[in-house]
A and B are shown apart, each in its own frame.
Chain A
Amino acid sequence: MIVADRKSLEEILAMVKDNKKILIAGCKGCVTVCNVGGLKEVEILASSIKIARKKEGNDIEIDIEVLERQCDTEYVAGISETVGDYEAVISLACGVGPQFLSEMYKDQTFYPGVNTTFFGGATQHGVWEERCAGCGTCAIHNFGGLCPIARCAKSLMNGPCGGSSNGVCEINKDTECIWDSIVRKKMEAGRLEDLLGVKGIKDWQTARDGGPRRSIREELVQGNI
């Protein structure tokens, strides 16, 4: 899923400081699963903002909505009748949400309430880790199913750098050296030779380096299936 962290209350309060009536829009997709933008978090943010504004003696009216998905025009269209009732909208979806909203409702101001960080998953309750960098040419089968693009600090393709120490990456003692894990896994399976072939230079054009990406499924575009 897409993982995000909520922005600080200070930052969010500054965004809406001149507004008296706002909407907070959550999303039932990834941000609900990573506990940052679902109904619960929307309600907590609304209450926190109201407390802050009452403290200042400057009340604010806040309504809440949780869209099925903010990355889908069909659901974004669901607030068309009410979106104009607000001075601003805070979206707690990943960065896609406030953009789809901004594109559909050109006169409204949408603030991102979260910092979208990576594609990953929860490794334990409350801890999320990065697993994929969306490079556009997946090759994890060459690395024992572990991604050195997203998980090696240097995105090395042909083995660890000299900074690998006891399974830990040199950038920080809390970061595992994924190359250590890849090699160890292959050794345990008795298949170290799988890693011997030199990987050619990676074509980064399918990644962000090739500019904004677009995925077209002709059969769907034509409405055939």
Chain B
Amino acid sequence: MKRYSVFAVAREAMRQHSGWGRAWSNPEPKTSYDVIIIGAGGHGLATAYYLGKNFGITNLAVIEKGWLGGGNTGRNTTIIRSNYLQDASAALYEKSRSLYENLSQDLNYNVMFSPRGVMMLAQTQHEIRGYQRTAHANSLQGVSTEFIGPSRVKELCPIMNIDGPRYPVLGALWQPRGGSARHDAVAWGYARACSDMGMDILQQTEVMGIRQKNGNVVGVDTTRGNIACKKLGMVVAGHASVVAEMAGFKLPLESVPLQALVSEPIKPCMDVVVMANTVHGYMSQSDKGEMVIGGGTDGYNAYTQRGSFHHLEETVRALIETFPMVSRLKMLRHWGGIVDVTGDRSPILSKTPLGNTFINCGWGTGGFKAIPGSGWGFAELMANGESPLTAGFGLDRFRVGRFIDESVAAGVAH
């Protein structure tokens, strides 16, 4: 792999950019691998990367039915934060946030991590109490967050109207080290690093079946033939129930569309990320100047990668009170992704009823922020059979009732 650097840019500028080469290879499938990961989203690719980097496992294929990063990873609104309530979540998300800080250097790929600060608005008395509680929990967990008052909110985000008639801004949970990153670049950076370690990323290859023998996985059937493996990781987000069914088990998941939209690009006007959970809206400004807006999920199961129009309408309508300037913006594009939601709004990183088969799913509306940490922990789980980071997130928690309840604050958590 050619390292990207200022010298590389200068060198290529001198020779009309003729020497860049492919970022990752496009190989033919081998007949067998030590490990197969299904799904080349951020979580699948990060898992592969840390399996190689931390455990030396590189005879590995990541199998993707579309193009890498084309699932939820390339469709999300890129909010990165770690101010969760429960200890198990805070550990996992904070590990992830801290890995993001050096990810560009680690991958030699600019993922444009921007720790510009994330604020979650309190617009009801209930939210004030909820976020104060989270701030206290975070200080015990070593996650730096702070509950701030309305005037500080206004100072950090002047375009906000804090005394709206219906939902005045009463304060906010502020995490200065949260922020955002470039979603595609996260997938591309991991893919490039995986390919460099000799792993195969097989795009346009759909897994259609899972082969088992004596209760253990032995391979997968794909649209490009059968491929054998010793260990299997399922990392397919919205399609987790579909792939689990191929292996013969059910999951505690529902798949629903979640939508986002962007406006026309405008001059810089907002340099923090704002989430307003009561009205189900959140907004940030991309480096291109577009206002990136997301809302709540649809109420019923669907796999269509587009949601109901009235949800977008509700999101934008809700944001207008708090951000009056939104009413003058033209919206350019909107799209949806299929998110996999669990009952306690926490992910599943787990062994499965099928031997040597592991599943990473249930990230729902909020797994972009977790990509590095999830990959780190899930790789350890796949390599060693256990990991302190993933310990509480097993499938067995639904049987024994040991939930990691993150649904308390609001139905949206991005």
Asked if A and B are interacting partners, one says no
